[in-house]
Structure 1
Amino acid sequence: MENLKVWLRKNASTAILTVLFIIVLVNKDAKAWLMRQVASTGILNSSISDSNETKNILAKASYAGFTLKNEDGTVINLSDLQNKVVFINFWASWCPPCRAEFPSVQELYARYKNNPDIVFLTINLDDNPELGKSYLKEKGFTVPFWVPAGNIPDTIYNGSLPTTVVLDKNGEIRLHHKGLADYSKDSFYKQIDELLKQKL
């Protein structure tokens, strides 16, 4: 026991870092917090691209048949949302990077939720949607809760969580970002504002 005390005195920082590392490994919220600190630097962020750039990379996708259902059972088809900016975020409650970026998604939603020209589709991909609902309630998030009501087109989601897609008013993909990002930055708000000013 005396040897352990001596070792701890000499290696206190190593012991503390080891304990923190174990906590981060086993606790989803601790992982999410750490990832959020990295995301807040902006190094993981993607930006909305120019319309001419996306025409060369991603052709305007056909969203016919991509339907979503909300908590009330209302079903919408993505192709019905033409003339609006659409922010789509695929997430799951068990996914640490999703948990890490969700506060920024909530901030973005809170900023624009009263703007009739933007629609938020935060699409939960938990095997049991109740887990996703519980997560939102537990954390006090108010983003709309959607689940797929059919197949998801590969052009917007191919299995990576989180995935965020922004469509402009013409239905063109202007952002397709796989992985963690921070959507509560002024630079991103400016890009959304530019899309909202877009004339059809």
Structure 2
Amino acid sequence: MNMKKEWFSTSNIFSAVLIIFAAAMVISPQVKGWTIQNLMKIGLFQPRIDKIQNDNKAAEPLPNILFKDDSGDIVDLTSLKGKVVFINFWATWCPPCIAEMPSINALHDRFGRNENVVFLMVDVDGNFEKSNNFMKQHQYNLNVVSSVSAIPTFFMQGTIPTTVILDKDGGIVFRQEGAADYSNPKLVNMITEMIR
């Protein structure tokens, strides 16, 4: 009887719950993504707005990068000059990508109808069926593309998620590796200023 009391103590139950949660975070990208999303809600994983400067722009003109949508239509990055371009490199199996997706969708809901803003959600796996199913399942209004040409390292160095924002001149004004909360008011204000 005494052994039962010790086995079902509050401390043991709490430890068991923590172990199960830690195992779920290792096994399930959705659980890890959910955890990161909730940490975003308390102020963690904010984009590094303070590092946005005009001197962060690419020194040379942007290379001609081509993207393809699930219909096979080609999007030429240089044809988007004159628009603010939000590019996110992501994958369905990536927990930080899953975590930041609601905030990207909220940003898209805010600016997606503006003809001066373009969102390119680049699925690094190029699996349109899987990525489009992910978007439908979560009711995101984000269109998926894949890269047809090589991605320069000043855009993405292999880390996902990576987000790049280009100004109307095609200069990189923002680059973030890792998850971030893109519903951040400072980022929203930055895009608002850029489209004026």
Answer whether TM exceeds 0.5 for this pair: yes
State the distance in 2 between where 1:183 and 1:44 align: 8
Q: CA contact under 8 A between 1:25 and 1:31: conserved in structure 2? A: yes
Whether the aligned pair in 2 keeps the contact of 1:60 and 1:173 (CA below 8 Å) is no
Could you list the structure 1 runs, at least 4 aligned residues long, displaced by more than 4 angstroms after superposition: none
Distance 1:102 1:74, change over 3 A: same
Quote the residue 2:6 is aligned against: 6
Q: 2:20 — aligned with what?
A: 19
2:45 and 2:107 mapped to 1: Cα distance? 18
Q: What are the residue-to-residue correspondences of 1:124-135 with 2, within 5 Å?
A: 124-126=123-125, 128-135=127-134
1:79-118 to 2 correspondences below 5 Å: 79-118=78-117
What TM-score do the two structures reach when normalised by structure 2?
Answer: 0.90
- CA deviations over 1:63-86 (Å, ceiling 9, x no partner): 22x101112211011011111100
SS in 2 for 1:73: coil
For this pair of structures, how many residues does the alignment match? 193
Deviation of residue 8 (structure 1)? 2.4
SS in structure 1 opposite 2:195? helix
Deviates more, 1:166-175 or 1:128-137: 128-137
Give the structure 1 partner of residue 136 of structure 2.
Answer: 137
> Which AA in structure 2 matches 1:54?
N
- Would the alpha carbon gap of residues 12 and 67 (structure 1) be closer, same or farther in structure 2, given more than 3 Å must change? same
2:167 and 2:154 mapped to 1: Cα distance?
Answer: 15
* Aligned mates of 1:60, 1:36 — CA distance in 2: 36
- What is the TM-score when the length of structure 1 is the normalising length? 0.88
2:103–2:182 contact (8 Å) kept in structure 1:
yes
Gaps of 5+ in 2: none
Q: Could you say what the CA RMSD is over the residues aligned between the two structures, in angstroms?
A: 1.9
Instruction: Specify the code of the residue in structure 1 equivalent to 2:95.
Output: P
Q: Which residue of structure 1 aligns with residue 56 of structure 2?
A: 54
- Identity among equivalent positions (%) equals 32
